[in-house]
Amino acid sequence: MQPEERPWSARRLLFGKTLRKSIRECSSSTTQTIQYNLSPNIPKTEGRKLYFDTHTVVCVLEDNGFTTQQAEALVSILVQMSNSNMDIIYADMVTKVQQEIMLQRVMSQISSVKKDMIILEKSEFSTLLAENEKLKIQLLQLKVQIADIMNKVRSDNLMDMNLEKSRVKELKAEHDKRLLETRTEIMEMTAEHECHLTQTNMKIDTEVAGLKTMLESHKLDTIKYMAGSIFTCLTVVLGFYRIWM
């Protein structure tokens, strides 16, 4: 059985996404606050001073051939141009008070983001600990189940081996019994064959002895016949010799 919890990489990815989302929200809110606070809350003319004397400028213009009205008109134009330029310059600038306020707001936003990060880390860490404990419990259960299955398989194998051993012993005993019976039959057949062989040898010896006796008798008869024939021939020869003499 496999746990259905998300893997570590997925949890880390989810934690990173949540953290980035919170940082983006905080940064967007901070940016909106900064953009909103860039517009000055004080009058535009505060802190803006013209560092030249308009009366002196009018006098210089009059000395150079301008009339009083022309000189005053030129000075007023210069003042308006300076004010418009200063308005353009100060439109993109903030005062020190505004900068300090914005710095405090940014620091407060950063501290809130840090708190959120710490809370997220703690919650995620506690979640990971709980999941780790759950995984440990599941691993222990798996170990117990695997041990039970292994014990069952081992007992089944031992039982099968014992049955096979008993069957082999029975087959061996039966084979030994058949072997003894076959050996007894072979010994009986061998004894019977030896008995027949002995009887045959005795018959052969008896026949051979009879043949030898018959041969000896025939030899004696032949010798007697030859001796008689020789004596007869000698007698005939002696008779002819006497007649001839």
pLDDT digits (tens, 9 = 90+) for 168-207: 999 999 999 999 999 999 999 988 888 888 888 888 888 8
Half-sphere exposure in the Cβ direction for 42 (13 Å, CA) = 12
Structural domain total, the chain? 1
Question: Taking a C-beta distance cutoff of 8 angstroms, is the pair 5, 135 a contact?
Answer: yes
Residue 95, in any domain of the structure: yes
Which band of pLDDT confidence, cut at 50, 70 and 90, is reported for residue 41? very low
Which band of pLDDT confidence, cut at 50, 70 and 90, is reported for residue 122? confident
Q: Residue 96's domain spans which residues?
A: 8-159
Q: CA dihedral defined by 207, 210, 211, 213, rounded to 10 degrees?
A: 160
Provide the token pair at 114: 């840090």
pTM of the model: 0.31
Residue 86, in any domain of the structure: yes
Residue 76, in any domain of the structure: yes
Question: In sequence order, what are the residues at sequence separation of 6 or more whose Cβ sits closer than 8 angstroms to the Cβ of residue 94?
Answer: 37, 38, 40, 102
Query: How many other β-carbons are positioned within 10 Å of the β-carbon of residue 58?
Result: 19
Residue 197, in any domain of the structure: no
CA distance 154 to 2: 25
Q: What percentage of the chain carries pLDDT values higher than 90?
A: 16
Residue 56, in any domain of the structure: yes
Residue 72, in any domain of the structure: yes
CA distance 240 to 245: 8
Residue 118, in any domain of the structure: yes
CA distance 145 to 123: 33
Give per-residue burial for 141-157: e unless 16+ CB within 10 Å, then b: eeeeeeeeeeeeeeeee
Please, what is the average pLDDT of the chain?
77
CA distance 188 to 169: 28
Q: How far is CA 41 from CA 38, 46, 83, 92, 107, in A?
A: 9, 11, 18, 13, 21
Residue 85, in any domain of the structure: yes
